[in-house]
Amino acid sequence: MSSEFAKENIDLAQPRLGSKVVFASDDFFADKARLICPDDPAFIEGKYDENGKWMDGWESRRKRTPGHDTCIIHLGRPGLIRGFLIDTAHFTGNFPPFASIDACQSIQKIPNESAWCEIVPKMALKGDAQHYVKVAENQPFTHVRLHIYPDGGVARLRVYGRIQKDWATVSKDAQINLAALEEGARPLGCNDAHFGTPENMLAPSKGINMGDGWETRRRREPGHDWAVIALARPGVIEKVVIDTAYFKGNYPDRASLQAAQISGKTDAEILAEAADWPVLLPEQKLSADRVHEYTNAIADIGPVSHVRLNIIPDGGVSRLRLMGKPQ
């Protein structure tokens, strides 16, 4: 199955959005919380704990009674689900042979059985493999339930989709971060993400280290690097914050922003034309490990839905905040 949908959406189950694993029928061998760990699954030769071999994922004991094991994730933000990755990395003689997935919308931490609906029918799994499953659900969900048959270990479950915020509850006079991942913003693409992805720039809170940002490789040719962001909601940008926290010998020398109001186009079409968008923030000098705020330098180009960040010539940005009023 193609994984293209994973590139066009964000992982709704990531902990930094508030997602949590709230239930597992059994996690004797490996803690259920590891199922949504943001890091790639690892295998550590010779590492054991009191229950056996340490595995980076969720793993239940060998079932000796009828039934199968389940695990429930409470998504930090309701979202439209577009697909899943069921990753059995490093699970070889202990992976489940089959899995299925349910979802529901509920205000309960652990929803009642009647709330659930199946969105991925029972499917075969392979050991030490990535299984991409595309879905197209038209209602937002708050919970996902993974069934494994009958038992075993899954390294990671990624839930790809788009956050659905009720914008009717937000005042048009409120200034919010329109580039916030938790509000529904997402990266459309970039020319390079060798050391860190553009999605990190949109994440909540302060960056935790140099790895928690967007960083490109060292440019050895003319030009500069860029990333394009779809805002959570079209709006008028009133303040720009570019944070180079932790980037000291590798921060961009300069940065600028371009922006446009766009609808009805594919991500590929938007990326192709972004270099020609109007300038929102002219080229600005940056410094190492510093929060840069801009208000007066922002051009009056009206409401925008997409922004292109240009970093000149290359380097790393920890966080990007685009404060404005939603339209």
Number of domains observed in the structure of the chain: 2
Q: What percent of the chain has pLDDT over 90?
A: 97
Average pLDDT over residues 9-27: 98
Cα distance between residue 135 and residue 1, in whole Å: 11
Quick: pLDDT tens for 268-318. 999 999 999 999 999 999 999 999 999 999 999 999 999 999 999 999 999
Cis-peptide into 150, omega within 30 deg: yes
Indicate whether 215 and 137 sit together in one domain.
no
Which residue segment(s) compose the domain that 134 sits in? 4-163
pTM value is 0.94
Contact 76, 115 (CB under 8 A): no
Cα distance between residue 320 and residue 199, in whole Å: 10
Does residue 279 sit in helix, strand or coil?
A: strand
Does residue 15 sit in helix, strand or coil?
A: helix
DSSP letter for 66, please: S
Last residue of a domain, one of 136, 163, 190: 163
Indicate whether 234 and 115 sit together in one domain.
no
Band the pLDDT of 84: cuts 50, 70, 90: very high
Quick: pLDDT tens for 249-273. 999 999 999 999 999 999 999 999 9
Quick: pLDDT tens for 116-153. 999 999 999 999 999 999 998 899 999 999 999 999 99
Mean pLDDT rounded to a whole number for the chain: 97
Residue positions counted in the chain = 327
Cα distance between residue 213 and residue 198, in whole Å: 7
Indicate whether 177 and 213 sit together in one domain.
yes
Indicate whether 152 and 26 sit together in one domain.
yes
Indicate whether 8 and 53 sit together in one domain.
yes
Band the pLDDT of 1: cuts 50, 70, 90: low
* pLDDT value at 2 more than 80: no
Q: What percent of the chain has pLDDT over 70?
A: 99
Indicate whether 202 and 322 sit together in one domain.
yes
Indicate whether 118 and 214 sit together in one domain.
no
The DSSP bridge partners found for residue 228 are 189, 308
Indicate whether 143 and 116 sit together in one domain.
yes
Last residue of a domain, one of 143, 163, 183: 163
